[in-house]
Amino acid sequence: MQRRDLLSHISLGCLGSLASLPAVATQPPALWLANPYQGNEKLADCWVSEKYDGIRGYWNGHQLLSRSGKALNPPTWFVQAWPSQPFEGELWAGLGQFEQAASVIQQKQATDSAWRAMRFMVFDANTSTQAFTDRIVRYQSIVKQIGKPWVQAVPQSQVPSHAALKAMLHKIVQAGGEGLMLHRGSSLYQSGRNSDVLKVKPHEDAEAKVIGHEPGQGKHAERLGALMVETPQGLRFKLGTGFTDAQRENPPAVGQWVTYSYRGLTDKGGPRFASFVRIRPTVER
């Protein structure tokens, strides 16, 4: 395959997933965003739960939205009997099934059988007047009221030490999970990024926009070698690892956003050991 053919293949191969997109709501919901866990936080007032690898969803009382405010299109039966009060959770298809979840949610009319494989894992009730400990009781009550097997309350527990937290993380990751969430029990609901909510993962991750492709060499000749990407802060760097053979043959197109993992920052502020994870779903942008 010649380089010009590769670039044409790159451009065309990624358009199919963009064919049918959900409608855009008036504005993004004001949701909290988690900071990374540092290992020195006080755990006495913290609740711990599994971090489900799916698509975040927000029920505003009459419509299911993505975190970017795009209206999702679940079947009527999926949201039947959902209350007029807001709550949020993760649209999840099971361990290791992120791509399946993203595929279902990005379709305007996915099949009923596809949606029946989905779960809405509820983890918060959006009210600014209650601490998180009280909101746990609130969202558990909402789930019980709905009474459908595909709407489930995320279990919450507490741990006595950072060693116990790391042991829990190891167990979750070994089972195929993504990580854990820490939520300060006394905290009120705050939109935006804050340290009352922390994500605990084996590595850090972030998003960047694809701005170019570097052809491969050696065993990767005539296909992708690396992605040139740019972060929202304007930092540019290459992502050359983490791709499957299929992804090198049909990589993310210029303009798409991708998630990458990394382990700390260099002296110049760049991500250390950055590696491609996946294309960021359109409904989250």
The pLDDT score that the predictor gives to residue 14 is 37
Whether 85 has a pLDDT exceeding 90, the answer reads yes
- pLDDT mean over 190-218: 92
Instruction: Express each pLDDT in 27-53 by its tens digit.
Output: 889 999 999 999 999 999 999 999 999
Measure the CA–CA gap between 106 and 280, rounded to whole angstroms. Answer: 12
Instruction: For residue 130, give Cα distances in angstroms to 45, 137, 162, 188.
Output: 15, 10, 27, 6
Quick one: pLDDT at residue 285? Answer: 64
Instruction: Look up the pTM and report it.
Output: 0.76
CA separation for the pair 71, 60 (Å, rounded):
11
Q: What are phi and psi of 180, to 5 degrees?
A: -130, 165
Rounded Cα–Cα distance for residues 170 and 98 (Å)? 20
pLDDT above 70 as % of the chain = 90
Segment 245-270 shows an average pLDDT of: 90
Instruction: Yes or no: say if 258 and 208 are a contact pair by the CB < 8 Å rule.
Output: yes
Q: Give the per-residue pLDDT at 265.
A: 81
Greater confidence (205 vs 56) lies with 56
Region 43-67: what's the mean pLDDT? Answer: 96
Give the start-to-end residue ranges of the domains of the chain.
3-21+204-284, 37-200
The yes/no answer on whether domain 37-200 falls in CATH 3.30.470.30 is yes
SS3 at position 158: coil
pLDDT at position 109 is 86
Query: What is the rounded average pLDDT for all residues in the chain?
Result: 88
- Quick check: 170 pLDDT over 70? yes
Mean pLDDT, range 128-150, rounded to an integer = 97
How confident is the model at residue 202, as a pLDDT? 87
Dist. CA 213–CA 216, nearest whole Å: 9
Looking at residue 26, its pLDDT comes to 57
Q: What 3-state DSSP class applies to 179?
A: strand
* CATH code of the domain occupying 3-21+204-284: 2.40.50.140
Residues in Cβ contact with 247 at an 8 Å cutoff, skipping those fewer than 6 apart: 224, 276
pLDDT above 70: residue 8: no
Q: Which two tokens stand for residue 86?
A: 């807001």
- pLDDT class of 3 with cuts at 50, 70, 90: very low
In what helix (H) or strand (E) does residue 213 lie, and over which residues does it extend? strand 204-215
